[in-house]
Amino acid sequence: MNDDIRRILLRVAYDGTAYHGFALLKDDSETIEGHLEEALGSLHGEPVCVIGTSRTDSGVHALGNAVVFDTASSIPAENFPDAINTRLPSDIRVRSAMEVSSDFHPRHTDTIKTYRYAIDNERIADPLRSRYFMHVGYKLDTDRMNEAASPLVGEHDFKSFCSVHTQAKTTVRHITGIKVERNDTEIYITVKGYGFLYNMVRIIAGTLIEAGRGKLDAGDVSRILQAADRSANPAPTAEAKGLTLMDIDFLSLGPA
């Protein structure tokens, strides 16, 4: 890379409601990546390509996604958020920026990602939660949900917990932790791991919801996992709006 070119890492937050996911689409649909590239292009006066770490699906939110781009600009890294945010829609924000080494690639670097799935567990849905929570009107037992989550922690073949349309070379993934917590009528499922398959967290959430209503237990989840077949899992894929990418921890983020 040219010595005058710097690589900048941005931490990005967004409300995914109005967007067709993170990744740029050929049909010019509204995407997070598209708006970031448009804003950076406006700032630089020429096209800028961004590389995203996590290509969140349509309707999924983020507080801590990450992208990189290359620039010859002399703007200090810490000033990029203010410069970019004035060019972005109000539901997309760059929260921080830092310079990284020129060979840093966000999708070729080991990470631990943290996702949170939010459930509105009131009998009648709270309209103020409707953009960010999935409503479940029947009472959920969070102790059962935590018990059912335990077989999923560790390295396993998660073929029973991903979309049949996944194009991953392997369906083996490593989850480092799952925690289900209740705060009055709000339930949060937090899932941490080294990587996730297409719809994996939403299917895990759907499975734990079934456990919370008494339809599945830890033994059922273990058998579903061992089957390595999505058709062996009766749980639906939970709604996209309840899912937020909370954080991405780069395990080998070296200095610029």
CATH of domain 111-247: 3.30.70.660
The reported pLDDT for the residue numbered 3 is: 65
Second CATH level (architecture) for the domain 6-108: 2-Layer Sandwich (3.30)
Q: Report residue 249's pLDDT band, with 50, 70 and 90 as the boundaries.
A: very high
Q: Are strands 61-71 and 92-100 parallel, antiparallel or unpaired?
A: unpaired
The reported pLDDT for the residue numbered 42 is: 96
Q: What is the pLDDT of residues 92-140, one digit of tens each?
A: 999 999 999 999 999 889 999 999 999 999 999 999 999 999 999 999 9
225 within 8 A of 208, measured Cβ to Cβ: no
59 within 8 A of 132, measured Cβ to Cβ: no
Mention every residue, 6+ apart, whose C-beta is less than 8 A from residue 122: 135, 137, 185
154 within 8 A of 173, measured Cβ to Cβ: no
Place of tokens 């749980």: 235
Compute the mean pLDDT over every residue in the chain, rounded to the nearest whole number.
95
Name the region of 10 (left: φ>0; alpha: ψ -120 to 50; beta: rest): beta
Q: What is the pLDDT of residues 5-14, one digit of tens each?
A: 999 999 999 9
Closest among 97, 90, 107, 33 to 71, alpha carbons compared = 97
Write down the H helix ranges in 175-217.
200-212
Cα–Cα distances in Å, from 53 out to 16, 21, 71, 110, 240? 16, 13, 18, 11, 19
The reported pLDDT for the residue numbered 253 is: 67
Q: Where exactly does CATH 3.30.70.660 map onto the chain?
A: 111-247
Q: Is the pLDDT of residue 1 over 70?
A: no
The reported pLDDT for the residue numbered 32 is: 97
134 within 8 A of 242, measured Cβ to Cβ: yes
- Residues of the chain with pLDDT > 90, as a percent, come to 91
Distance CA 79, CA 84 (A): 9
Q: Is the pLDDT of residue 255 over 50?
A: no
DSSP label of 207: H
Helix (H/G/I), strand (E/B), else coil: 152:
helix
Distance CA 125, CA 120 (A): 7
Q: Is the pLDDT of residue 210 over 70?
A: yes
25 within 8 A of 31, measured Cβ to Cβ: yes
Q: Where exactly does CATH 3.30.70.580 map onto the chain?
A: 6-108
The reported pLDDT for the residue numbered 28 is: 73
Distance spanning both ends of the chain, measured CA to CA: 13
Count Cβ atoms within 10 A of the Cβ of residue 134 and give its class: 0-12 exposed, 13-18 middle, 19 or more buried.
buried
Q: Which residues are catalytic?
A: 57
Global pTM reads 0.94
Q: What is the pLDDT of residues 163-209, one digit of tens each?
A: 988 888 999 999 999 999 999 999 999 999 999 999 999 999 999 99
Q: Is the pLDDT of residue 243 over 90?
A: yes
Q: Can you tell me the mean pLDDT for 60-73?
A: 96
Distance CA 159, CA 172 (A): 8
The reported pLDDT for the residue numbered 2 is: 60
Q: What is the pLDDT of residues 219-230, one digit of tens each?
A: 999 999 999 999
Distance CA 51, CA 9 (A): 9
